[in-house]
């Protein structure tokens, strides 16, 4: 496969896991819409039986993601190199949580996308009896204290949504292997994208994405993916993907594969725009504090330099002022649109406390620092001067 000769990620986003379609030679994988596949005799088929279980277009996208996340698995290990695409990021997480049994303990980062925390605390604690332990995993000692021998899974976001905390993935993996060798280590890599960070290279077992975000990059598809490093674990996820059935459909797999091909060039612009906006906000008198790992003022800037290849387009900041001032600010913005989601080409602004993290209990939000003054930007790939002018204009109006 062409990906084997393509070591750099800028080339892998184009060719990773791809090959010409065997019947026609089509360079772009066709959208196979067929729900089912003809069999020559019962059980005698070409590797495709039913589209929930196997779909060639989905496979093309899954193999691409295996390549981007540095999966060591090949098609000899698993038909889609141990990578599985789902209908959404939440469907991905829900399926991965089914690797656990009733009552199992999971140690999770305290700062998570509100929907991820909702799935853990408001669904799976009740329906699966999961024993949830939230800790600040930006602090390896807090992780070590939470990591008991009976812990079965670790769930990390880095950078976190929306506080932009980082977790030292190599340090966490080392501690976890010592304390509970069989625990499954999962990293939600949505905020970084595989261009900026590849958790499997740091000893994690599974990396997942909401592909709705940077991977697709155009705010026109909802999806998710899990890349599994080990063949035996991949077989368990493959079983669950088929048994539960929350799969990505072939149209979305095609669109997301189309979107990911520009991921490396998009991330270059997200990285430079994000840094420029973070620097601008940091020196602005109406801004109290900026949370961005690419700034030397970020408490984990040194870890950022070791673990990431770019800081991306997510910038959170505290406005000097109350909720009314924040509402005025977002109303004044013209280029940044007020909307949930992130990671796409257009710039968005979000108010976590009222929007993406409304389902997090208010006392938890306060403890994490998700106050009414916190604003989250998803910096897009527009011209940076237009973005700066938009922010300058809105800030001067509040
Ligand atoms: O929206 P969905 O594709 O189901 O993905 C959920 C999800 C998972 N993980 C992270 C880190 C996320 O940020 C998200 C979705 N987040 C938003 C919609 C948001 O605006 O933060």
For position 218, which CATH number holds? 3.40.640.10
**Same-domain check for residues 248 and 296:** no
Question: Residue 238: in which H helix or E strand, if any?
Answer: helix 231-244
Which of 111, 136, 188, 252 is the catalytic position?
188
Q: The domain spanning residue 356 has which CATH number?
A: 3.90.1150.10
Q: Report the nearest atom of ligand 1 relative to the CA of 378.
A: 20
pLDDT of 391: 98
226 φ/ψ sector (left φ>0, alpha ψ -120 to 50, else beta): beta
CA-to-CA dists, residue 4 to 176, 195, 258, 334, 337, angstroms: 31, 18, 20, 45, 40
In degrees and rounded to multiples of 5, residue 224 shows phi and psi of: -155, 165
C-alpha span between 390 and 188 (Å, rounded)? 31
How many residues can be counted in the chain?
Answer: 398
**Same-domain check for residues 228 and 290:** no
C-alpha span between 124 and 97 (Å, rounded)? 8
Q: pTM of this prediction?
A: 0.98
**Each residue's pLDDT tens digit, 83-109:** 999 999 999 999 999 999 999 999 999
**Same-domain check for residues 235 and 278:** no
Number of structural domains found in the chain: 2
Which of 210, 220, 316, 377 has most ligand 1 atoms within 8 Å of CB, for mutation?
Answer: 210
Of the candidates 212, 228, 260, which is a domain's last residue? 260
- Asked whether 211 lines ligand 1 (CB < 6 A), one says no
C-alpha span between 318 and 215 (Å, rounded)? 28
Of the candidates 260, 291, 308, which is a domain's last residue? 260
**Each residue's pLDDT tens digit, 44-73:** 999 999 999 999 999 999 999 999 999 999
**Same-domain check for residues 177 and 269:** no
Residues spanned by the domain of 289: 263-397
For a pLDDT cut of 90, what percent of the chain falls above it?
Answer: 98
C-alpha span between 257 and 134 (Å, rounded)? 34
**Same-domain check for residues 215 and 319:** no
**Same-domain check for residues 328 and 232:** no
Of the candidates 260, 290, 325, which is a domain's last residue? 260
Q: Provide the CA 239 distance to its chain's centre, in angstroms.
A: 22
Cα-to-centroid distance, 208 and ligand 1 (Å): 11
């Amino acid at each position: 496969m062409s990906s084997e000769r393509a070591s750099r990620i800028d080339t892998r986003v184009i060719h990773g896991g791809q090959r010409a379609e065997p019947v026609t030679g089509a360079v772009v994988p066709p959208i196979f819409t067929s729900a089912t596949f003809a069999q020559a005799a019962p059980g005698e088929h070409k590797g495709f039986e039913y589209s929930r279980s196997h779909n060639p277009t989905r496979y093309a996208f899954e193999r691409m993601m295996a390549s981007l996340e540095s999966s060591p698995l090949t098609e000899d290990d698993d038909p889609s190199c141990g990578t599985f695409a789902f209908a959404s990021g939440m469907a991905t997480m829900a399926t991965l949580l089914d690797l656990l049994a009733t009552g199992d303990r999971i140690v999770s980062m305290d700062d998570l996308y509100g929907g991820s925390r909702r799935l853990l605390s408001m669904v799976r604690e009740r329906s699966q009896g999961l024993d949830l332990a939230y800790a600040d995993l930006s602090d390896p000692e807090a992780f070590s204290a939470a990591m008991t021998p009976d812990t079965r899974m670790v769930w990390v976001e880095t950078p976190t949504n929306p506080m932009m905390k980082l977790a030292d993935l190599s340090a966490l993996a080392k501690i976890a292997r010592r304390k509970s060798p069989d625990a499954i280590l999962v990293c939600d890599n949505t905020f970084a994208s595989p261009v900026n960070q590849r958790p499997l290279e740091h000893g994690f077992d599974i990396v997942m994405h909401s592909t709705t975000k940077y991977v697709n990059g155009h705010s026109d598809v909802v999806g998710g993916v899990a890349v599994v490093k080990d063949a035996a674990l991949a077989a368990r996820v493959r079983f669950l993907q088929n048994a539960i059935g929350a799969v990505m459909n072939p149209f979305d797999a095609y669109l997301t594969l189309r979107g990911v091909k520009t991921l490396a060039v998009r991330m270059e612009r997200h990285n430079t725009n994000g840094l420029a906006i973070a620097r601008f906000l940091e020196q602005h008198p109406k801004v109290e504090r900026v949370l961005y790992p690419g700034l030397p003022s970020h408490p984990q800037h040194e870890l950022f330099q070791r673990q990431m290849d770019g800081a991306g387009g997510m910038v959170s900041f505290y406005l000097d002022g109350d909720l009314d001032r924040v509402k005025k600010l977002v109303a004044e913005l013209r280029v940044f649109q007020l909307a949930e989601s992130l990671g796409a080409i257009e710039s968005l602004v979000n108010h976590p406390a009222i929007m993406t993290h409304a389902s997090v209990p208010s006392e938890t939000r306060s403890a994490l620092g998700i106050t009414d003054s916190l604003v989250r930007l998803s910096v897009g790939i527009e011209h940076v001067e237009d973005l700066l002018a938009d922010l300058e204009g809105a800030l001067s109006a509040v």
